[in-house]
């Protein structure tokens, strides 16, 4: 391990911009990569250097390992930060970085094979005595593998190599299985370069609660609290917050203990997130997966802890110890994040790419906006529809909701449709305000 002086960011959009900002604070040079369609994206404009890596399709650009490695070598980058999505949880990419002497800012390939792959992660958690949902033990190749088994419908097909709701399908009966499996495998292959999927018993009413962890190479493992990510649409998180008021202090401690147990049991290093489903009666919880990367919703944790997770990722990758101990971490206030997508809620959330005429972000005390867009930017149709995140912090949940509502109402975007009206509707809903919701609440409400 060595001092990192230049980082190539193997990603795009708001996460690339967010990484660039921390690198600038740390005095680290940045190299952005962009597809031909992304030449005017903010991340390509803000980096110290920017290099085109191919045409718009992700398979020919952001998922092309050879091209990314070549770009890092030619620009003499010490390290690569993968962000989230694309190759962020691809063990082969980590191995290539290691072979070329490039530091990968994230866990080891071995960690990733165990926990970044959702199938292996389930098996590992189960071996450590952590409760998991019933499901298939390995990759699912054909429908007969499930229909001949003992699992009852409904079932959930999940991509083994990624998250973000991609490669996921609910199957209610045997007749739906073949098409759902085909679609899930195709979507997973396109999003992550790996089409393998597995199946779990589908739990209809639950809360999605996750624990943020940080671990260094010296056996120091920390949790940074939990996040509630239960407001979802088609398994895509829309609103995330911390702390989670739904679970008790006793259950929180159990979730923290199991998250730490997983890290210890696998020798995990760097940032990661352990995800659980909690039943609505608060009687039990289940491990569902580990994200071996930084997550979209990491800013809410940063807001209440004051810890820059990207900075800690870089320091750990340099071989340094974590600067903080568990006893040093305090949680202040309540934070909520709203994901703003270029979609039209009134037309079944159809993507809404195109030219942004006006883009005026909100501001003020306790308000943060992570985005890569600006007035005059053309949102491309080839990638995820996320165009920005509004993150707020209040003294308590009620104040945070009010602050987020005010911020979104002053976020002016014209030229394309966005999900801001939907988020304002959610924030005004009495059930959301009272905390009476689950992972299917939004779809049932609509």
Catalytic residue numbers read 293
H-helix or E-strand containing 239?
strand 236-242
- How far, in Å, CA of 127 to CA of 90, rounded? 23
Residue closest to 132 by CA, chosen among 141, 143, 144, 121: 121
- How far, in Å, CA of 195 to CA of 221, rounded? 32
Angle between helices 65-74 and 91-99 (to 10 degrees): 30
CA angle 440, 443, 446 (to 5 degrees): 145
Cβ atoms of 178 and 143 closer than 8 Å: yes
Cβ atoms of 272 and 292 closer than 8 Å: yes
Cβ atoms of 408 and 424 closer than 8 Å: yes
Residue closest to 32 by CA, chosen among 7, 9, 57: 9
Handedness of CA 32, 34, 39, 40 (dihedral sign): negative
């Amino acid at each position: 391990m060595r001092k990192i002086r230049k980082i190539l960011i193997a990603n795009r959009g708001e996460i690339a911009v967010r990484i660039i900002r921390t690198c600038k604070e740390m005095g680290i040079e940045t190299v952005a990569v962009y597809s031909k369609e992304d030449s005017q994206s903010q991340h390509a404009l803000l980096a110290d250097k920017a290099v085109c890596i191919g045409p718009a399709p992700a398979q020919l650009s952001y998922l092309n390992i050879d091209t990314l490695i070549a770009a890092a070598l030619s620009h003499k980058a010490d390290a690569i930060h993968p962000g989230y999505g694309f190759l962020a949880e691809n063990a082969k990419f980590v191995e290539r970085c290691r072979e070329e002497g490039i530091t990968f800012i994230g866990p080891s390939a071995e960690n990733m094979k165990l926990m970044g792959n959702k199938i292996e992660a389930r098996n590992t958690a189960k071996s450590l005595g952590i409760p998991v949902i019933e499901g298939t033990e390995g990759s699912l190749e054909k429908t007969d593998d499930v229909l001949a088994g003992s699992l009852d419908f409904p079932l959930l097909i999940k991509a083994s190599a990624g998250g973000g709701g991609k490669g996921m399908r609910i199957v209610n009966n045997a007749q739906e299985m073949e098409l759902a499996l085909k679609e899930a495998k195709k979507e997973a292959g396109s999003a992550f370069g790996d089409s393998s999927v597995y199946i779990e018993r589908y739990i209809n009413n639950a809360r999605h609660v996750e624990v943020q962890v940080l671990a260094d190479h010296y056996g120091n493992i920390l949790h940074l609290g939990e996040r509630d990510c239960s407001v979802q649409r088609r398994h895509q998180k829309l609103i995330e917050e911390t702390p989670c008021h739904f679970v008790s202090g006793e259950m929180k401690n159990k979730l923290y203990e199991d998250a730490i147990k997983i890290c210890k049991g696998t020798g995990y290093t760097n940032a990661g997130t352990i995800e659980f489903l909690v039943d609505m009666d608060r009687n039990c919880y289940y491990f569902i997966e580990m994200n071996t990367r930084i997550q979209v919703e990491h800013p809410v944790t940063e807001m209440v802890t004051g810890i820059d997770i990207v900075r800690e990722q870089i320091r750990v990758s340099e071989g340094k110890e974590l600067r903080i101990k568990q006893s040093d971490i305090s949680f202040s206030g309540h934070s909520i994040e709203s994901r703003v997508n270029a979609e039209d809620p009134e037309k079944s959330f159809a993507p809404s790419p195109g030219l942004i005429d006006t883009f005026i972000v909100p501001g003020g005390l306790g308000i943060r906006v992570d985005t890569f867009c600006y007035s005059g930017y053309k949102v491309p149709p080839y990638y995820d529809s996320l165009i920005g995140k509004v993150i707020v912090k209040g003294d308590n949940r009620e104040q945070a909701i009010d602050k987020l509502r005010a911020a979104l109402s002053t976020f002016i975007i014209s030229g394309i449709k966005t999900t801001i009206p939907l988020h304002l509707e959610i924030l005004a809903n009495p059930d959301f305000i009272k905390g009476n919701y689950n992972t299917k609440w939004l779809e049932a409400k609509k």
